[in-house]
């Protein structure tokens, strides 16, 4: 089994007849999915998504793939294939198109419609190539065939990439729901056909590789929703992903059956459902007076006649549901409201979600979630379905994608159980370079692949060092120390003036450290030290030692040295 090593260096020049594969995201993490394929100097990209920040990344809005390895090579990109329209697969597209705005975007009808809507906000008009399951399309040396896959958003696709070096089948995100709401099944026959023709490398979704069995059908949620609607007298608020058309469809159907009106709350929810409705992927049941209403009109309606569908199922601070829970939204949570969190917990979001649940409960709402009712089923294939695909495709080599380390390793073990040789299973992390040649995939090096942080309008300007400073400021506070020194002798002329913020240190206690600073500066002057930087470092060490000894804290210490 091939796996990354810290000592990996830059990859060699691409040999003739070799297909190079570089994952720039989604390997060892849930999100930021992006894979670059290279053959004869030409590039094909599959997906370009974002990762959402952890609590220890304060101020960060989004995390992008690192495009450094594409510097100077943007004109070599033949196309960018988007398997489906989830943010972890399309969220970074606008940031790559800022560098070259005419890269052809290849995707299904709904996927392209949603990415167009997103790009409008960035004032970018994409070059789009619409494809469908069963279709073929060629871009440079890459011949592509597309397959229908079932997922938690309509119109998802898998793609087979054929070059003279071999065939790669990339499943994208998928599951094998046998009773999907739209009747669109994962094309297992197509997978088996390509497997019989020969697949040199299978790259497959690993998110649920640790979960045994097969997926529960999306249809199983409808009876649960109907039961909740029938037993609820007050307002119902459903929070789910703004792209989960099938989940919203079931909410609309339940609302119509129980004579409730529905209002979409949140910009992304309104935008995405509008696109899905216009294209026919979302069917709004016909009721007298119309099922959909404006949120402002819904506020004036009897609570028992209203359903609000909003974003915020992951506890995102600025989402509609989080703002409702914090009483920072025009819609006020009231005693007797029922809130349904119709989604799974993305790893890392647990604390934020439970905080929102507690706040909603505090205001008297009943909160229904995956932990106490069947209001969500996963969009990803569990181990039983992953084994089925492996047995159908029979790949010569296997590379698990889209998962944290535990998911990748679990999926790799499944591949070996189905007969993929140990030496043909490649576990790679972001930036690791894999070459496919003569039926063998192997790790050959690594390219730069760090986190690129989006903070407001800045992209890539926030560094790990500045994040460390933010964490210290948030957890320990800071002390500023202002001193005035003689530029010639280095002797203290005025100060020290000390201010503390967020450090938990009482202002009156700061008098204890002033003599220590004065003594340290006097010794430095006696030793002939008059450099402002050196004096600043001396002040930082002196104050830091005192704070640590007295309070066992490590605040940020900012010395300001003024020379006169």
Domains of the chain: 19-213+378-456 (3.60.15.10), 218-368 (3.40.50.10710), 464-563 (3.10.20.580)
Say which residues have a Cβ less than 8 Å from residue 86's Cβ, sequence separation at least 6. 49, 152, 153, 173, 241, 243
Say which residues have a Cβ less than 8 Å from residue 51's Cβ, sequence separation at least 6. 25, 29, 30, 31, 32, 62, 63, 64, 88, 451
Terminal C-alpha separation, the chain? 66
Helix (H) or strand (E) holding 392: helix 383-393
Residue 260's pLDDT band (boundaries 50, 70, 90)?
Answer: very high
539 HSE (CA, 13 A, CB side): 30
Contact present, 520 and 556 (Cβ < 8 Å): no
- Please tell me the distance from the alpha carbon of residue 223 to that of residue 493, in angstroms, as a whole number: 78
Q: 371-395, pLDDT tens digit by residue? A: 888 889 999 999 999 999 999 999 9
Q: 294-345, pLDDT tens digit by residue? A: 998 988 899 999 999 998 877 777 788 888 888 888 888 889 999 999 887 6
- Please tell me the distance from the alpha carbon of residue 342 to that of residue 176, in angstroms, as a whole number: 20
pTM: 0.84
Q: Which residue has the tokens 């609590």?
A: 55
Reference 156, options 191, 132, 139; nearest CA is 132
Contact present, 268 and 90 (Cβ < 8 Å): no
Strands (E), 247-357: 261-265, 306-310, 338-341
Angle of the 383-393 helix axis to the 188-197 helix axis, nearest 10: 40
Say which residues have a Cβ less than 8 Å from residue 34's Cβ, sequence separation at least 6. 23, 24, 25, 26, 45, 46, 47, 48, 49, 65, 92
The most confident of 282-291, 308-317, 484-493, 549-558, by mean pLDDT? 282-291
Helix (H) or strand (E) holding 121: helix 109-121
User: Over 50: is that where the pLDDT of 486 sits?
Assistant: yes
Q: Which residue has the tokens 């871009």?
A: 139
**Angle value at C-alpha 367, between 363 and 368, nearest 5 degrees:** 170
pLDDT the model gives residue 3? 47
DSSP state, residue 488 = T
104-123 average pLDDT score: 94
pLDDT the model gives residue 1? 43
3-class state of residue 472 by DSSP? helix
Q: 153-206, pLDDT tens digit by residue? A: 999 999 999 999 999 999 999 999 999 999 999 999 999 999 999 999 999 999
pLDDT the model gives residue 469? 67
């Amino acid at each position: 089994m091939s796996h990354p090593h810290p000592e990996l260096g830059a990859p060699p020049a691409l040999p003739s007849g070799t297909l190079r594969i570089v994952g720039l995201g989604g390997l060892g993490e849930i999100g930021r999915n992006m894979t670059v394929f290279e053959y004869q100097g030409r590039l094909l990209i599959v997906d370009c998504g974002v990762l959402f920040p952890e609590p220890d990344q304060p101020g960060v809005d989004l995390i992008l793939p690192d495009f450094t390895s594409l510097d100077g090579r943007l004109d070599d990109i033949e196309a960018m294939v988007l398997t489906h329209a989830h943010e972890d697969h399309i969220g970074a597209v606008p940031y790559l198109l800022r560098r070259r705005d005419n890269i052809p975007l290849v995707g299904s009808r709904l996927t392209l419609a949603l990415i167009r809507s997103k790009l409008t906000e960035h004032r970018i008009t994409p070059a789009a190539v619409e494809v469908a399951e069963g279709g073929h399309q060629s871009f440079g040396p890459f011949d592509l065939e597309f397959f229908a896959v079932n997922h938690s958003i309509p119109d998802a696709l898998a793609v087979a990439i054929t070059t003279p070096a071999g065939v790669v089948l990339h499943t994208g995100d998928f599951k094998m729901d046998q009773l999907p709401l739209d009747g669109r099944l994962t094309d297992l026959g197509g997978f088996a056909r390509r497997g019989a023709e020969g697949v040199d490398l299978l790259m497959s979704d690993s998110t649920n590789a640790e979960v045994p069995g097969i997926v529960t059908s999306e249809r199983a949620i409808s009876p649960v929703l109907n039961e909740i609607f029938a037993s609820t007298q007050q307002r119902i608020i459903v929070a789910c992903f703004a792209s989960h058309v099938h989940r919203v469809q079931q909410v609309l159907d339940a609302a119509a059956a129980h004579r409730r009106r529905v209002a979409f709350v949140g910009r992304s929810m309104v935008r995405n459902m509008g696109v899905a409705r216009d294209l026919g992927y979302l069917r709004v049941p016909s009721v007298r007076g119309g099922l959909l209403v404006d949120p402002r009109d819904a506020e004036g309606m009897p609570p028992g006649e209203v359903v609000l569908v909003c974003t915020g199922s992951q506890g995102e601070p600025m989402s509609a549901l989080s703002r409702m829970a914090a009483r920072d939204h025009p819609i006020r949570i009231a005693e007797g409201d029922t809130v349904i969190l119709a989604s799974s917990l993305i790893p890392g979001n647990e604390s934020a979600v439970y905080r929102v649940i507690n706040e909603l409960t505090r205001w008297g709402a009943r909160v229904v979630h995956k932990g106490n009712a069947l209001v969500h089923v996963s969009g990803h294939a569990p181990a039983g379905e992953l084994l089925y695909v492996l047995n159908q495709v029979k790949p010569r080599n296997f590379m698990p994608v889209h998962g944290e380390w535990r998911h990748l390793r679990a999926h790799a073990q499944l591949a070996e159980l189905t007969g993929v040789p140990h030496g043909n299973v490649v576990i790679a992390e972001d930036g690791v370079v894999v070459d496919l040649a003569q039926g063998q995939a192997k790790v050959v090096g690594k390219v730069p692949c760090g986190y690129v942080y989006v903070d407001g309008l800045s992209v890539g300007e926030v560094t790990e060092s500045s994040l460390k400073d933010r964490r210290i400021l948030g957890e320990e506070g800071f002390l500023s120390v202002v001193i005035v020194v003689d530029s010639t002798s280095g002797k203290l002329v005025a100060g020290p003036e000390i201010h503390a913020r967020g450090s938990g240190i009482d202002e009156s206690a700061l008098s204890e450290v002033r003599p220590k600073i004065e003594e340290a500066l006097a010794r430095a002057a006696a030793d002939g030290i008059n450099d402002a930087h050196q004096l600043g470092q001396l002040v930082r060490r002196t104050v830091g030692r005192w704070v640590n000894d007295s309070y066992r804290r490590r605040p940020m210490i900012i010395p300001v040295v003024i020379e006169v």
